[in-house]
Amino acid sequence: MNASKTNKSTVVVALGGNALLRRGDEPSFANQLDNIKIAAKAIAEIAKEYRVVIVHGNGPQVGLLALQNLAYDKVPPYPLDVLGAESEGMIGYMLAQELQNKLPEKDVTTLLTRIEVDCDDPSISDPTKFVGPVYDEAEGRALAEKNAWTMKRDGEYWRRVVPSPIPKNIIDKRSIETLLEAGQVVIACGGGGIPVCKCESGFKGVEGVIDKDLVATLLAKQLAAEKLLILTDAPAVFLNWGKENQQALRSVGPSELEQYQFPAGSMGPKVDAVVDFAEFGGRAYIGALDESLDVLAENCGTCVSLDFEAVPA
């Protein structure tokens, strides 16, 4: 595992797009900025104790850009990889500015990051990644028919789903390492990064939005980070979420966590991510944004580690 010249541990922080634009919020700049200020305050506290790389989601934002894209019908719509790059720049700028305001002694850099995926990834024919705003069923079905979108139920609402290819390699990893070694707070792989695949001329963009939690895990592994922290709107991983018998999982081994089923469009990828990183030998966490330091201190949230694997009798 990796540590800086100041002996600080490295933590990769995955920040959900819904934490930056909360479900049901008007998708305005002002609302996003208010939420980003909350996120920046929490992450700034982490950055005082750790080397930090931030990976953020972009589901609501890239979906909004796609809607804005459709409104201008004089040119063909931009592909999702380009819209992803736009959202990565937008959110990265807002995060960097607010973090710099909280940490004037540190440099903060946003890096547009390309992620290699498979051109024939199965998700292309079976999209699961939620993007954009929520709709009631009638409006969702109407938009699906009008725009040839795939829509799926997201709780009590309906949302558009798009392909979410599995990340294979972070092309710009060396740049991230260089910035970290220079003592910077780095914002990278935003929105899951820009999906590209190999072609005869080098690389080309892929229509899709990569899951940011899976990319955060890949980044944490490639950086040999000690910790992976997934911040979300849930205070922990729960069994029977939303029911009277719901139960928070606090300290759990990856093999136990793999036994449970979680929704594919929300907690499922987060659980897959922490299981993967824990099996790699790191320590992985899922918890609430406003409890981030306490989650890392294992006072709340869910911690996943090989240390918690059951010992055979």
User: Does the annotation count 129 as an active-site position?
Assistant: yes
pLDDT at 6: 53
Distance CA 236, CA 260 (A): 15
Classify residue 19: in a domain, yes or no. yes
Structural domain boundaries enclosing 185: 10-116+167-308
* Crossing angle between the packed helical segments 212-222 and 173-181, to the nearest 10 degrees: 60
- Quick check: 8 pLDDT over 70? yes
The arithmetic mean of pLDDT across residues 234-240, rounded, is 90
Amino acid at 251: S
CATH of the domain at 99: 3.40.1160.10
Enumerate the β-bridge partners of residue 161.
130, 150
Classify residue 260: in a domain, yes or no. yes
User: Does the annotation count 18 as an active-site position?
Assistant: yes
Supply φ then ψ for residue 308, to 5 degrees: -100, 10
User: Is the pLDDT higher at 97 or at 245?
Assistant: 97
- Among 69, 212, 253, 265, the active-site one is 212
| Structure tokens that stand for 91 in this block | 């959110």
Instruction: Give the chain's domain count.
Output: 1
pLDDT at 265: 62
Query: For the segment 273-303, what is each residue's pLDDT rounded down to a tens digit?
Result: 999 999 999 999 999 988 999 999 999 999 9
Query: For the segment 116-159, what is each residue's pLDDT rounded down to a tens digit?
Result: 999 999 998 899 888 888 899 999 999 999 888 999 988 889 99
- Among 16, 270, 282, 287, the active-site one is 270
- In DSSP notation, the chain reads --B-TT-PBEEEEEE-HHHHS-TTS---HHHHHHHHHHHHHHHHHHHTTSEEEEEE--HHHHHHHHHHHHH-TTSPPPPHHHHHHHHHHHHHHHHHHHHHHH-TTS-EEEE--EEE--TT-GGGTS--EEEEEEE-HHHHHHHHHHHT-EEEEETTEEEEEE--PPP-EETTHHHHHHHHHTT-EEEESGGG-EEEEEETTEEEE-SS---HHHHHHHHHHHTT-SEEEEEESSSSEEESTTSTT-EEE-EE-HHHHTTS---TTTHHHHHHHHHHHHHHT-EEEEEEGGGHHHHHTTSSSEEE-GGGSPPP-
Classify residue 34: in a domain, yes or no. yes
Query: For the segment 257-266, what is each residue's pLDDT rounded down to a tens digit?
Result: 999 988 776 7
Note whether 201 and 256 are within 8 A (CB). Answer: no
The arithmetic mean of pLDDT across residues 165-177, rounded, is 96
Supply φ then ψ for residue 123, to 5 degrees: -65, -20
The arithmetic mean of pLDDT across residues 9-14, rounded, is 96
- Quick check: 4 pLDDT over 70? no
pLDDT at 136: 93
The percent of residues above 70 in pLDDT, for the chain, comes to 95
User: Does the annotation count 212 as an active-site position?
Assistant: yes
Classify residue 242: in a domain, yes or no. yes
The arithmetic mean of pLDDT across residues 76-94, rounded, is 94
User: Is the pLDDT higher at 76 or at 206?
Assistant: 206
Global pTM exceeds 0.75: yes
- Quick check: 100 pLDDT over 70? yes
| Structure tokens that stand for 22 in this block | 């909360």
Distance CA 259, CA 177 (A): 35
pLDDT at 312: 52
Q: Please, which pLDDT band fits residue 21 given cuts at 50, 70 and 90?
A: confident
- Among 16, 69, 129, 227, the active-site one is 129
- Quick check: 230 pLDDT over 90? yes
Classify residue 144: in a domain, yes or no. no
Query: For the segment 187-198, what is each residue's pLDDT rounded down to a tens digit?
Result: 999 999 999 999
pLDDT at 18: 65
Classify residue 143: in a domain, yes or no. no
Sign of CA dihedral 88, 174, 114, 262: negative
Query: For the segment 214-229, what is each residue's pLDDT rounded down to a tens digit?
Result: 999 999 999 999 999 9
pLDDT at 2: 52
Q: Please, which pLDDT band fits residue 28 given cuts at 50, 70 and 90?
A: confident
- Among 18, 31, 41, 106, the active-site one is 18
Residue 230, Cβ neighbours under 10 Å: how many?
31
The arithmetic mean of pLDDT across residues 53-63, rounded, is 90
- Among 17, 59, 84, 190, the active-site one is 17
